[in-house]
Structure 1
Amino acid sequence: MLPLLDTPAYTPAATLNDTTRWLCGAPYLDPDFGNAVIREVVESERKAVPPSYGFDLDPVVRHCLRARRLLLIRYALVTAILVLGLCLNAFATVTWLALCGAIVGFRSPAVRELPRSVRLGALAALGALVLCALGYVVLQTVLTSLTDPFGSTGTFDEDYGQVSPGLSATLIVAPVGLAAIMFLALFLSRRHAYGVLTTELAPGIAATAPHTGNQRVEWRLGVVAAMQRGNICVQDINPFTGAGWVEHSWSFATSLRARDGGERISIDSADLNQRVHDAVLGLRDTELRAGERISNVYVVPYVAADGNRRGDDPLINPRTRTPHTMASPETIAAVMGSPQGGLRHYLRAVVPATGKPIQTPDGRLVLPAQDSGIGVTAFVHLAVEGGMLYTEFVSTVMPQVKPLCQLVDNLRPERVPHQAAAHTLLAFVRDNVLGPAYLARLGWDTLRLPGRMARSARRADEYRFYDYGAHFSVRELAAQRPTVRFMQVLDAEKYIKLLDRVVTDTVLAYLDEHGVDTTEFRSAVTTVSIGNATFHGGQQNFGSRATNIQTTVAAPRARTTGGTRG
């Protein structure tokens, strides 16, 4: 017999899909992304993660940790070169760092907001200081190249303490050489990172998972990898974390009185859920023509749970001290029949980003399958309570991954050196002046990682209640918002409308079959349309989230209750 609540098993894929590869490449291109993922997934040792649909979280987190190690090495080299420069020529090194700091400051948003006259004045002052410094260096070079009045040939004189021209030239040339070494170190570091994108993360390459070298981190990643494959989302605020942003929603409360005026009719919520489940899968019915079928649509059970729970709550795994994320069929049936309990059941209908090829009737290929880049999800909650039927429909859209992350596929291997050199030039000044600060922060975060994990576990053990809910979804963190491409907007709107129509038609048909008076429900449906419009005696525009609660007569107008999640 299956346990009522459990943590699913995890089996790594042989190859990584596109979304997983893009997310794995993100920390090499955006360090802030990697740091945020590590804080959320690794340091918060007892927290759950949202269900991962369409990607694998385990290799993503491992590459985030690896990218941090590479950055640590990069800025350790930068700091070492700066220290060497201070030893060889402190004046030139300090002057260079001051110039870099001024350039970085002038490019900051705070300075850009200053009046133009102030910025020009500061720039003129900076230019004057640079000219003075250069003049000082030139003057020192000329003076030290001259021989003394007694005919010195430039060697060191113990009586006068003269510095030889050869040594002086070395002190002047050394900063230039160190600058070249600095550029080379940064270039090689970036070339190695970009090489990971075009080799290990290339399409079709066998999946590899970088090891962390820390047993506690490895244990946590093993738990995370298993939790992501569940059907329970543990979150206090947004029960749809990981599915994208809400684009359209409605909810109706309908009386179950008989059509003929008889006694109130009892319906089976499990049977109604199954009917809606089958109707959505009917969109991919094999009786439809190949071009008409939505062959990639699927429906899975989904359970929403609050994150703030006791440590001995049945939802908490006593072995891992993290939430269970897999509900058995018996548990789902029990939750479905107890809509007032601490868990909520939804049907999750998903139309993923995978596309279909375009072919002529005789089978000739016009265009191969292309991913749309977005995923559309519909959550349907059906609850029978107090002799009434509560129906909720929430549709979300997961935008495409940010174009920066898609450099994994866009970057040609032969262009890696050019890309590394270009990015090194763009960030050269910032890396010089902020390199030691980056090193200090990265080193501190790396050293404190086990301690932060232990502190998170202690907090969960010290109090009776603890927030086990996930703060955000890694997939959403890398999403591009807003969606602006025409085809993506069109697909999102189309599939939301199709799923909405299937759900409403199925619920109406089911109620009609059981003799329920559907006048209220039909009237409520006509007051809500998708696309931010209500058709009720004419077209009216309102917000993107609507709720309509029916009593004995149809509401005169849908009431706006919210909008998209920012």
Structure 2
Amino acid sequence: MTLHEPTTDWTRFAAEHAEAELPPLDDNTRYLAAAAHLDRHYCDEAVRELLVEDTRQVPLTPGLDTATVLTEVVAARTRRKFRDGALALLTILFVTTGLANPVLGGWVAWAAVLSVKPIWRSVRWGRPGSGLFVVGKLMVVFALFTGALLLPAVGEVISSLQSSSSQSSHARSGSNQFDTTDLMPSWFGLDPNVISSVSALLMLVILIADRVVVWQTVRRYFGRRARVPGAVQRPSPDRLSLLFSPPRLRRVLDRHRAGRVAESPDARVPLVVYRGRNPFVGAGTSVTPWSLALPLERLDGAGSSAEPLTTARFYEEVGKAVEELQRHAALSPDERLRDLHVEGMVFTPAEGLIDRVHEPVTTPYLARVSQPPAHYLPTEEAGRIYHRPREWARYYLCFQVETWNRELVLSAFLHAAVEESTLYIEWTPCVLLPIRQELRAGDTMTADWWRPVWQGFLRWLKLPVTGPGRFWAALKVIRPLPHDGHTLNADRYGSARTLRELGAAEAARDYFQVVDAERYTKLLESRLVPAISKVLSDSGYSPASFERRVAAVTTNNVTIHGGNTGPMVFGGVVEGDVSGGTLAPRI
């Protein structure tokens, strides 16, 4: 048997479905669609960021089918609402009829014991206050455990007090007696113990059924087979969990399904309206950005025949030089540079846009305050920003490469301002890291039927501890930010994070991903720097000063501290995490 022959059922399965019509799902879409069902926190964050505000842009999201993921987000949140609402009602029924049941104390004690390990594992030691929050949770669990142990004794005391009160009342009233046992809830004349037992059994059935549904949904639609064309069908668009979802979520979901649509035929330049400090929404974390303000020095003997240095010529020449990397794809693994994407974009902060919303100049950006900002700018307005940036609107040339089956995305943004005596340059490389490991659980789910049943049973055992949280989740509504006719909240218009960024890991998963991100950054800079030098020399200016100054930030070697799974470090020596490190360049 040779090495290249198919040796597994999976290989034969892939070959049988290779020619099917249904396009496959990429790994990012699979993982995040499954994460909507597996991770409540991720689901709620996606709703809060992308679905609850109907005046936010549809963001640029490289490496992802946003509509598919958001459809599962809406379906998963609706399913959880109905599940937790039913559990809350049954819990109230159980507690009101089972206070005298000795099973209640044992159930609460077991729930407290089983909750200690998950609470302890939820500690995020790098986040301030996380340890104190977990300690508070553990103290509450300890109080529940102590109360569960004392519950039988408390029941005996209450029973004796009720008995003595009943005898005293009988002695005073003679024949007009009132039995306090009638105060125990009686539903349709049934025994309270029967009602509490049935309630507990129904809660167990609901939790097991919920886990089975999640297990089958993730394995059937978003498992590894979804990578094969036509291997699996997509979830039904008319599921009950979608039909019973809030109409406001469905309306915004329809906008994401339509995607970023140009408002007019002349609107061609992508516009990104952001909130917060980071304008490059969807690009991930910036690494080793640099900027230069360079006095321009005329070359000796430079004549009037030299081409004038303008912003348009600068962007055009640099863009063409970097785009030449497509012809040298062999420099990249799997020739990913063939798909190098070069595009101009305009970025504007939502705060700056809303501050000037009464001015006619903002009409191409935001036509009405009741609608989202435009997704594309008209060519005329983009040309103005291209040559003369505003304080609240900047033009950047974006270079983007998607690698590792679109899991790792390298984006670099170039901004320049040109005047006859000075050149200003900004260069900001960004890395969008792969999806974190806990959101990849769908790939490890097996066909063993007992696993979801066991998970449902464990959740049932912990229900007395998790019950209050489930009750709150059933009642909680993620509302839009406050606004009215006299108040404009800029946060309603700007985007801060995409679905990919919400699910991104804090470090690369593989050593090769670390060095590949470094590789693409260096390859882009290897074309950027000579292109700028050539533009300067062709325009009659000396590139020597630029080359000396830029060498300090582009010729460093990568230094990796720790194991291959540690944080990514780009150039020089970085102390601390990537987002807050300090750069000590090696020259």
Q: 1:386 to 1:214 in 2, by over 3 A?
A: farther
1:162-201 equivalences under 5 Å are 178-201=199-222
Does the Cα contact within 8 Å between 2:33 and 2:73 map onto a contact in 1?
yes
Q: CA deviation at 1:425?
A: 4.0
Distance 2:533 2:430 in 1: 23
Residue 284, structure 1, aligned to residue 326, structure 2: yes
1:187-266 equivalences under 5 Å are 187-202=208-223, 203=226, 204=229, 205-208=232-235, 209=237, 211=242, 214-226=246-258, 228=260, 231-236=270-275, 237-260=277-300, 266=308
Q: CA deviation at 1:562?
A: 12
Distance 1:545 1:77 in 2: 44
Q: 1:429 to 1:218 in 2, by over 3 A?
A: same
CA offsets 1:241-288 (integer angstroms, 9 cap, x no match): 211111221111122331117699841222221222222222221796
Q: Which residue of 1 aligns with 2:173?
A: none
* Unmatched segments (≥5 aa) in structure 2: 1-21, 121-131, 158-178, 182-190, 263-269, 560-570
Q: CA deviation at 1:223?
A: 3.3
Does the Cα contact within 8 Å between 1:376 and 1:398 map onto a contact in 2?
yes
1:313-352 equivalences under 5 Å are 313-314=362-363, 315-318=365-368, 321-340=371-390, 342-352=392-402
Q: CA deviation at 1:187?
A: 1.0
Q: 1:487 to 1:443 in 2, by over 3 A?
A: same
Using the TM superposition, name which of 252-261 and 34-43 deviates more: 252-261
Does the Cα contact within 8 Å between 2:415 and 2:425 map onto a contact in 1?
yes
Using the TM superposition, name which of 428-437 and 303-312 deviates more: 428-437
Q: Which residue of 1 aligns with 2:422?
A: 388
Q: CA deviation at 1:240?
A: 0.9
Which residue identity lines up with residue 462 of structure 1 in the other structure? H
Distance 2:584 2:486 in 1: 37
Q: 1:377 aligns with which of 406, 411, 415?
A: 411
Using the TM superposition, name which of 260-269 and 68-77 deviates more: 260-269
Using the TM superposition, name which of 397-406 and 90-99 deviates more: 90-99
Give me the TM-score of the superposition, normalised by structure 2.
0.70
Distance 1:200 1:295 in 2: 31
Q: 1:439 to 1:30 in 2, by over 3 A?
A: same
> SS in structure 2 opposite 1:336?
helix
Q: 2:547 aligns with which of 522, 525, 537?
A: 522
Distance 1:214 1:101 in 2: 33
Residue 62, structure 1, aligned to residue 71, structure 2: yes
Residue 404, structure 1, aligned to residue 438, structure 2: yes
Distance 2:141 2:341 in 1: 60
Which residue identity lines up with residue 280 of structure 2 in the other structure? F
Q: Which residue of 2 aligns with 1:466?
A: 490
Q: 1:560 to 1:385 in 2, by over 3 A?
A: farther
Q: Which residue of 2 aligns with 1:165?
A: none
Distance 1:290 1:478 in 2: 26
> SS in structure 2 opposite 1:527?
helix
Residue 431, structure 1, aligned to residue 481, structure 2: no
Residue 418, structure 1, aligned to residue 450, structure 2: yes
Does the Cα contact within 8 Å between 1:19 and 1:401 map onto a contact in 2?
yes
Does the Cα contact within 8 Å between 1:183 and 1:428 map onto a contact in 2?
yes
1:290-329 equivalences under 5 Å are 293=335, 294-308=337-351, 309-310=353-354, 311-312=357-358, 313-314=362-363, 315-318=365-368, 321-329=371-379
Q: CA deviation at 1:502?
A: 1.6
Identity of aligned residues (%): 20
Q: 1:386 to 1:321 in 2, by over 3 A?
A: farther
Q: CA deviation at 1:196?
A: 1.7
Q: Which residue of 2 aligns with 1:95?
A: 105
Q: CA deviation at 1:85?
A: 2.8
CA offsets 1:73-131 (integer angstroms, 9 cap, x no match): 222332343344345533236535643664477554559759x9x99998996785478
Distance 2:99 2:144 in 1: 24
Distance 2:382 2:52 in 1: 31
Distance 2:522 2:72 in 1: 38
Q: CA deviation at 1:523?
A: 0.9
Distance 1:331 1:374 in 2: 33
Q: 1:342 to 1:120 in 2, by over 3 A?
A: closer
Q: CA deviation at 1:436?
A: 4.8
1:266-281 equivalences under 5 Å are 266-281=308-323
Q: 1:207 to 1:134 in 2, by over 3 A?
A: same
Using the TM superposition, name which of 303-312 and 259-268 deviates more: 259-268
Distance 2:420 2:548 in 1: 21
Output the aligned Cα RMSD: 4.3
Distance 1:334 1:190 in 2: 55
Distance 1:545 1:112 in 2: 24
Which residue identity lines up with residue 300 of structure 1 in the other structure? E
1:11-50 equivalences under 5 Å are 16-50=25-59
Distance 1:532 1:290 in 2: 17
Which residue identity lines up with residue 469 of structure 1 in the other structure? G
Which residue identity lines up with residue 420 of structure 1 in the other structure? P
Q: 1:71 aligns with which of 76, 80, 87?
A: 80
Q: CA deviation at 1:387?
A: 2.9
Q: 1:385 to 1:195 in 2, by over 3 A?
A: farther
Q: Which residue of 2 aligns with 1:150?
A: none
Distance 1:49 1:562 in 2: 38
Which residue identity lines up with residue 45 of structure 2 in the other structure? A
Give me the TM-score of the superposition, normalised by structure 1.
0.72
Which residue identity lines up with residue 473 of structure 1 in the other structure? T
Does the Cα contact within 8 Å between 2:557 and 2:572 map onto a contact in 1?
no
Does the Cα contact within 8 Å between 1:335 and 1:343 map onto a contact in 2?
yes
CA offsets 1:377-417 (integer angstroms, 9 cap, x no match): 111112214632111111111111122222334424x23x3
